[in-house]
Structure 1
Amino acid sequence: MFLIFSFFLISSLSFSILILFLFKSRSSSSKSHKNLPPSPPRLPLIGNMHQLGSSPHRALQAMAQSYGQLMLLHLGTVPVLVASSADVAQEILKTHDLIFSNRPKTNINNKLTYGLKDIAFSQYGEYWRQVKSIAVLHILTNKRVQSYRQVRKEEASLLIEKIQETHESMVNLTELLISLTNNVTCRVALGRTYDGKKFKNLLERFLELLGSFSVGSYIPFLTWVDWLSGLERRADDVAKEFNEFLEGVIEEHINKKLVDVQGQDIVDILLEIQRDNTMGFHLERDEIKAIIMDIFGGGTDTTFTNLEWVISELLRHPKAMKKLQQEVREIGHGRTMITEEDLGKMPYLKAVLKENLRLHPPFPLLVPHESTHDVKLLGYDVAAGTQVIINAWAIGRDGSTWTKPNEFQPERFLNSPINYQGFHFELIPFGAGRRGCPAIQFAMVINELVLANLVYKFDLALAQGECLDMSETSGLTAHKKFPLLVAATPCE
């Protein structure tokens, strides 16, 4: 069996290389007049795949040092444009925003999002405009975000209580932050919390698959490799489990059972839009489920990742930690907790979070874009159907933009107009333009409230003699590789 498989694999690769060589020979003359962006040498069949490694954002930053702020890679048969500076990002996400407004189709995302029916990965067009309008006008308005204030307060209080119960012993802060963000998102989106471990495992598998590399999406005639590796089976399993879970949630809401959030949760809102046809189009059940999955993918993973990284940076920089504590405690005046009304009075808190997002954007390469038409970009020819990667991680560490770019210096954002809303392209952790993240406010108010209360209530430190490992995981989201273990001493 192994010999048969080996022969088939070698034959397939040999035939593929021959076809690609012939195609390249025929097309080279037609491309000779094109002014293409600089490209590193590539291998037959796989192109530049082998150069990405386990940390693509770091590898691409290193390649940009040689090939420039705009370079063209080839991942299998797919041309991929990589932007590594604020100027190029602005050209793509503002000047030519409409042309680069599409998302590439991948086999795994297609399985996980009901045929790309969510907001993040759906193809640009009328359907995307409809679901984006639901998010902007009904789910993520300022009034709606404020309506969930009590949920955030209760979950932040619960986090504090759990830490206090450890009586100053080592606390797995990563685990507690995941629990907090899961609970907030569950209550806001679904109306109540769900079985922690089971739901956490399902969500982890879902996010891991979203960040996985599908060979068949880049070399279509090798789609069988994804099947052989088990990638497609795992995607089918997770999609089935998530679908069963969300079906149960929707039935609970239809039958008005077990809902504890005050006012409407997101499932209520979506069902109301479906029932009353308030948006002027019919919202299908699978589309409702796809939108809910977006809320979880973006709402939980990025939020706890931000908190984990920012606390890690503060532990590494005691002066910044002390300065933040002083600001928070002056505002708190000995009260039980910091409230959301207090957050607007804390410029250093906001500067700390901006600096963390500069160094540790949750999605280092953002969500890929795709060009819908041929376009001239900085004098180079870019063909329709080219995938586009914005290296937000590299942009945040660009020495031509930032002084001492690899150092954690929150003070750089004090009295600075730069923010992360998508208007300043040197800091775009949530993307920009029409495909930018619509949930920035929802995510950041949780980050601000939780961080403020953690440093208000506790002195956080590493165990004596311990060194903080800042290694990253690979995938769509860059998590800390190892859990964040801290000693939390209650403040007097």
Structure 2
Amino acid sequence: MHLKIGEVSTIVVSSPEVAKEVLQTNDLNFADRPHQLGADIMCYGSTDIATSPYGGYWKQLRKICTIELLGATRVRSFQSIREEEVSKLITYISANTGSSINLSNKVAAMTSSITSRASFGVKYKDQDAFISLMRKLVTLAEGFIIMDLFPSQKWLHIISGMKPKLEKMHKQFDMIFENIIAEVEKTGGEVETESLLSVLLNIKDHQDLGFPLTMNNIKAVILDMFVAGSETTSAVIDWTMSEILKNPRVMIKAQEEVRKVFGSKGYSDETSLEDLKYLKAVIKETLRLHPPTPLLLPRECRETCDLKGYTIPVGTKVIVNAWAIGRDPEYWSEPEKFVPERFIDHPIDYKGFNMEYIPFGAGRRSCPGISFALPSIELCLAQLLYYYNWDLPSGGIMENIQMTEALGSSSRRASNLILVPISHNHV
């Protein structure tokens, strides 16, 4: 589908066949990002991984991210952090069994703590303020910024008022980052495990990358980690709990598996997550229906090319609709139904090789943070299902649980998930 939004020519891709042309066949030609005011201000001149233009800087940064920051060994090193923070969530829930709790808020705080400790080696004092700012940032990012639609009209920032809002928010984020970095430096590097910040600082000081890696570049990368590791992770947990509550058959089956796998130990940890085949299928099905970014971050055509018989001019913005692709009836039977069994013994994974299932994108610009997010998602859900049964407040009917999605670029519930935990006999 071709759209002319303001001055910007935009193509929306909603089929796996065309997505393959963009994300695989012509991946390099569509590897660039369009200039966006929000990214330019919030992400330190678009020097993060997600929004940086394609080129030498981005390729080096992506390599650092894939090998140094999010490699299997590094992610495993954060296991104790994940287990401790999930355990704190379970302790809170156990103290409030039989009462209504705001699970969405508590899960968001947990994922933020995990990301903070992994990123900085410490849990920072300004966590609540940071979470609040992150929510505001996501909300701002969900609407069109008028200057991005009319790039030639530089005066529009005066009447829109968006630029000063973003600049104010950026200063608030930067102040929090500066305070955290100062706090880390005050400890003399004595942290629980090597943090992502310490890895980046070491690369900055000791590796020749062919370009200077500045503190602002490092902050931009860490901000990406918070968006992917905190906001995205908590949203996936929220939606997974919502879907299994709405589908009691799935809830029973998932709880039976978790309690069977961990029953002999009497507690749930990361050591046996690989044995939770059904829970993994439940998460995959959730991501099919609720991809973290329903419309993948926009790409930009670097050179005029042909796409399924149509000429795509250089500079054209291309948006892939992962939400529609995951519900395409030509590829998914009963696509609106929540059926985790469709992923049992099915080779489809998150890596973007199967164009009918791209919750984290595909190709060069796919999200590299899935390896960081998945262990937290799986561990948290395993414990929520292992230790508790769940009810809605005031005896609500599970099948009628509110499933409205918030409008915008990210997949979030429109309302917080308020539930009543009931202790299972493990607690």
CA contact (8 A) 1:253 1:267 kept: no
- Tell whether the 8 Å contact from 1:172 to 1:486 is kept in structure 2 after alignment: yes
Of 213-222 and 284-293, the range deviating more from structure 2? 213-222
Per chain length, whose mean CA-contact separation is higher, i.e. which structure has more relative contact order (CA < 8 Å, sep 6+)? 2
Contact 2:97 2:420 in 1 (8 A): no
1:102-181 superposed matches below 5 A: 102-181=32-111
| CA displacement at 1:267 relative to structure 2 | 0.8
TM-score, reference length from structure 2: 0.95
Aligned to 1:3: none
Q: Partner of 1:60 in structure 2? A: none
Q: What is residue 490 of structure 1 aligned with on the other side?
A: 423
Matched, 1:203 2:130: no
1:339 aligned partner: 269
How many residues align? The count is: 421
Return closer, same or farther for 1:92/1:394 CA change in 2, 3 Å cut-off.
Answer: same
Deviations 1:444-476 (A, max 9, x none): 111111111100000012231353111111222
The residue type equivalent to 1:344 in the other structure is E
Q: In the alignment, which residue of structure 2 is the partner of 1:252?
A: 183
User: 1:315·1:462 contact (CA, 8 Å) conserved in 2?
Assistant: no
- The counterpart of 1:236, out of the listed 167, 173, 191, is 167
Q: Give the conservation status (yes or no) of the 8 Å contact 2:14–2:325.
A: yes
Mapped partners of 1:154, 1:425: distance in 2 = 36
Shift of 1:478: 1.8
The secondary structure found in structure 1 opposite 2:311 is strand
1:287 pairs with 2:217: yes
Normalising by structure 1, report the TM-score.
0.83
- The answer to whether the 8 Å contact 2:6/2:150 transfers is yes
Aligned to 1:20: none
Give the C-alpha shift of residue 244 in structure 1: 1.6
What is the rounded CA distance, in whole Å, between the counterparts of 1:458 and 1:475 in structure 2?
32
Contact 2:146–2:160 (Cα < 8 Å) also in 1 = no
The range that moved more, 98-107 or 201-210, is: 201-210
Specify whether residues 455 and 151 from structure 1 end up closer, same or farther in structure 2 by C-alpha distance, changes over 3 A only: same
Pick one of 375, 399, 405 that aligns with 1:472.
Answer: 405
Q: In structure 1, give the amino acid aligned to 2:202.
A: E
- Choose the corresponding residue for 2:6, options 60, 73, 76: 76
| 2:354 matches 1:354 | no
Q: Could you tell me whether the CA contact under 8 Å between 2:27 and 2:363 is conserved in 1?
A: yes
CA distance in 1, matches of 2:275, 2:38: 44
- TM-superposed CA distance for 1:379, in Å, is 1.1
Q: 2:317 aligns with which of 387, 406, 411?
A: 387
Q: For structure 2, which runs of at least 5 residues remain unmatched after alignment?
A: none
> Cα gap change, 1:259/1:204 in structure 2, threshold over 3 Å: closer, same or farther?
farther
Separation in 2 of the partners of 1:305 and 1:314? 14
- Secondary structure of the structure 2 residue equivalent to 1:220: coil
CA–CA distance in 2 between the matches of 1:346 and 1:469? Answer: 27
Aligned mates of 1:259, 1:109 — CA distance in 2: 33
Give the whole-Å Cα distance in 1 for the aligned partners of 2:172 and 2:309. Answer: 48
Give the superposition deviation at 1:359: 0.2
2:206 corresponds to: 276
Measured in 2, the distance between the counterparts of 1:421 and 1:162 equals: 35
Gaps of 5+ in 1: 1-70
Q: Report the CA distance between 1:224 and its aligned residue.
A: 4.2
Secondary structure of the corresponding residue to residue 306 of structure 2 = strand
- Consecutive aligned runs of 4 or more in structure 1 exceeding 6 Å deviation: none
The letter for the 1-side match of 2:142 is G
1:286-312 Cα shifts (integer Å, max 9, x gaps): 111111111111111110000000100
Deviates more, 1:376-385 or 1:272-281: 272-281
Structure number, greater radius of gyration: 1
Partner letter of residue 423 of structure 2? P
The answer to whether the 8 Å contact 1:371/1:388 transfers is: yes
Question: Partner of 1:87 in structure 2?
Answer: 17
What secondary structure, in the 3-state scheme, does the structure 1 residue paired with 2:119 have?
A: helix
Deviation at 1:132, TM superposition (A): 0.8
Aligned-pair RMSD on alpha carbons? 1.5
Aligned to 1:212: 143
Contact 1:97–1:434 (Cα < 8 Å) also in 2: yes
Secondary structure in structure 1 of the residue aligned to 2:4: strand
The SS at the match of 1:459 is strand
> What is the CA distance between 1:313 and its match in structure 2?
0.3
Answer whether contact 2:86 2:379 (CA < 8 A) is retained.
yes
